[in-house]
Structure 1
Amino acid sequence: MNKQTHYFFAIKIPQETKLIMKKHRDRFKEILPFSTWVHHEDLHITLAFLGNAPAEKLSIAIENVREALRECKGFPLEINNLGTFGKVDSPRIFWADTRESNELREVREKVFKSCLEAGFQLETRPFKPHITLARKWTGDQHFHKRLLDELQPNPLLFQANEVVLYQTHLDQTPKYEVKEKYLLE
């Protein structure tokens, strides 16, 4: 059977940060009824979603990104807020975001441009860096933003030292496999 897969470039979250986020996620799961919770190994910040990528285009994007990031250095990021996407009373996505970072925006622009130059058609909405924690509200009651205010953890600082190309395996958990790594030194 030919399984559909897709690819995306992302900031890889360091392992120790993923484990701290897992503890928060486990606490959130007890309170917030979302249908799907992201496995802690799959936590990341998407930079460019490629979708089902033809091998030739993917190869060009891999090399373009490698060249674009050659001079980029690692930088600190702070996870600082919880939020949602979708309907106010029945959100589609529950996420944690990062404090504004010029370095993150610069890396995202380089990756995004590299993928466009490889021939990919990418998302045109403004970049909203976030880490997806859960999907699809299933609560009997309407979701209220005050829940997020009550759950708000302390800010979490980490060093963003790696951009990766992930391949998605929908039939596995965790479902994202690292295909390429770009160290930001």
Structure 2
Amino acid sequence: MGDHHYFIGIPLLNEKRDEFTALQQLLKHDMSYKNWTHPEDFHITIKFLGACATPVLESIKQQLMSYLWPKPFELRLGPADTFGKRERPRVFHIAVNSSSDLLMIHEGVEQICEQAGFAREGRRYSPHVTLAKKWIDGLSPLATEEVDSRFMRHYLMNVDRFCLYRVHPQLSPKYEVVYEVRLPSGGGAGGTVN
């Protein structure tokens, strides 16, 4: 099954899904995108792996299970932001604050994946939740004089796990959790297999 692509990311809680789906509806008044993220697919990417052979995946799972992760923590999300041209951004997303706990997870995942043969990401880690990508038409509401305050909101989210996902490009939702790492409540390592 080496043709499947994989990534490691933090899933979004249900109430955040609802709020971000409402933002997508708002955005659809102004813009067209080729890809709108399905609410069940909202996540914060930690690392994209791409194609991955089963033995390599198993090795990564073992490492994820035994690594000493931080305890559950609170993450600050928002406001809305973009990648690409200001008026016609290729990606419209919700920014995520790079807390020290999130950076610890990112660094741990980078180390584990590097040992498994994956190159480290060259760019600075820029955590976010993608709402839409591949701009088709329309003007970004963030590029207007009066930005709708709903795009400026901040959100708090508790993080108690992150997941290894398999990508199914033809399906909707397209991301399947194949392994879940729960952050240790009392210290120590802990992963659970789905």
How high is the TM-score relative to the length of structure 2?
Answer: 0.85
Instruction: Name the SS of the counterpart of 2:61 in structure 1.
Output: helix
Runs of 4+ in structure 1 off by over 6 angstroms are: none
Instruction: Name the SS of the counterpart of 1:85 in structure 2.
Output: strand
Letter in 1 for 2:119: Q
Cα deviation, residue 5, structure 1? 2.0
Bigger mean CA offset, 150-159 vs 90-99: 150-159
1:1-185 → structure 2 map (5 Å cutoff)? 4-68=3-67, 70-139=68-137, 143=140, 145-147=142-144, 149-150=147-148, 151-184=150-183, 185=185
Letter in 1 for 2:104: E
1:118-142, Cα deviation, whole Å (9 max, x unpaired): 1122432110000111012212x55
CA distance in 1, matches of 2:80, 2:72: 24
Q: CA RMSD in A?
A: 2.1
- Matched pairs, number: 182
Contact 1:65 1:115 in 2 (8 A): no
Shift in alpha-carbon separation, 1:91–1:37, aligned structure 2, 3 A = same
Contact 1:90 1:143 in 2 (8 A): yes
Contact 2:164 2:179 in 1 (8 A): yes
Q: Where does the alignment leave 5 or more consecutive residues of structure 1 unmatched? A: none
Q: Percent identity?
A: 30
How high is the TM-score relative to the length of structure 1?
Answer: 0.89
Q: Where does the alignment leave 5 or more consecutive residues of structure 2 unmatched? A: 186-194
CA distance in 2, matches of 1:183, 1:109: 17
Letter in 2 for 1:155: H
CA distance in 1, matches of 2:55, 2:147: 46
Instruction: Name the SS of the counterpart of 2:78 in structure 1.
Output: strand
Bigger mean CA offset, 42-51 vs 72-81: 72-81
